[in-house]
Chain A
Amino acid sequence: MAYREKLAAVHFAAMALPYAVYFTLVATRPPEPRLIDMLWLFGAAAIVHALLAGFGSLAIRIQAGTEGRAPADERDRAIARRGRSIAYIVLLVGMMLAGVAMPFTEPPAKIVNTALLAIVVAELVNGGVVLFSYRRGWHG
């Protein structure tokens, strides 16, 4: 597995793990959690995400040596563009749902969490597309 592929895998896992726990807890708690509880939970998930991504990236960079210091080339940039363009659609749909449709029918906590879920899912789609493109090839 190449350096940037490993990096994408680490970022994907670092995003998926803490937010999977976060959304599981949010979904299984009473219907109207207090704002402060949500903030604490979100803060914890964000810190775990940052730590996993930071230390994971650092470990891979050290292991990769000179390859880790090489700038992204045309294939890396093409794959990143593909990931971002597909993730943008996911984010757009999620934000339209959270910002346009839900304010008329849903409580604030649910709207906030739907918006957060849209961001997380969009980022996971981005990472998934990048990983898939490195593994299976991409002719962008």
Chain B
Amino acid sequence: MAKGRIANQIRTLRFLAGEMTQADLGEAIGVTRQTVAAIEQGKYSPTLESAFRIARVFGKPLEEVFQWEET
């Protein structure tokens, strides 16, 4: 099985969305600010449902928000 990690562009997308706060994003997708911070730092992989919600908030396809990186 190929080893890897899920990278994401959430920090950049929040910046481009007018410095949207982690709390605002968390509220939009139904998680806490701490969970958004953990996702951004790669400490937690969100459920597929939350990943789609995040992508929808930014109006981007899923693969522009999350990427699989081989390690």
Residue ranges of A at the interface with B (Cβ–Cβ < 8 Å) = 2-5, 67, 70, 73-76, 78, 136-139
In the assembled complex, how far is the CB of residue B31 from the closest CB belonging to chain A, in whole angstroms? 4
Which stretch from B12-20, B43-51, B59-67 is at the chain A interface?
B43-51
- Check if A67 sits within 8 Å of B45, measured CB to CB: no
In the assembled complex, how far is the CB of residue A1 from the closest CB belonging to chain B, in whole angstroms? 9
Counted as pairs of residues, one from A and one from B, with CB atoms less than 8 Å apart, the total is: 37
DSSP class of B's interface residues: helix, strand, loop or mixed? loop
Neighbour of B47 across the interface among A3, A4, A5, A74, CB < 8 A: A74
In the assembled complex, how far is the CB of residue A130 from the closest CB belonging to chain B, in whole angstroms? 13
A139 and B30 in contact (CB under 8 A), knowing A74-B50, A75-B35, A75-B38?
Answer: no
A139 and B45 in contact (CB under 8 A), knowing A70-B32, A74-B31?
Answer: yes
Indicate the size class of the contact surface on chain B: 10 to 19
Complex: chain A residue closest to B50, CB-CB: A74
Residue B41, interface by CB 8 Å = yes
- Check if B43 sits within 8 Å of A137, measured CB to CB: yes
In the assembled complex, how far is the CB of residue B55 from the closest CB belonging to chain A, in whole angstroms? 16
Residue B9, interface by CB 8 Å = no
- Check if A2 sits within 8 Å of B44, measured CB to CB: no
Complex Cα gap A3–B32 (Å): 10
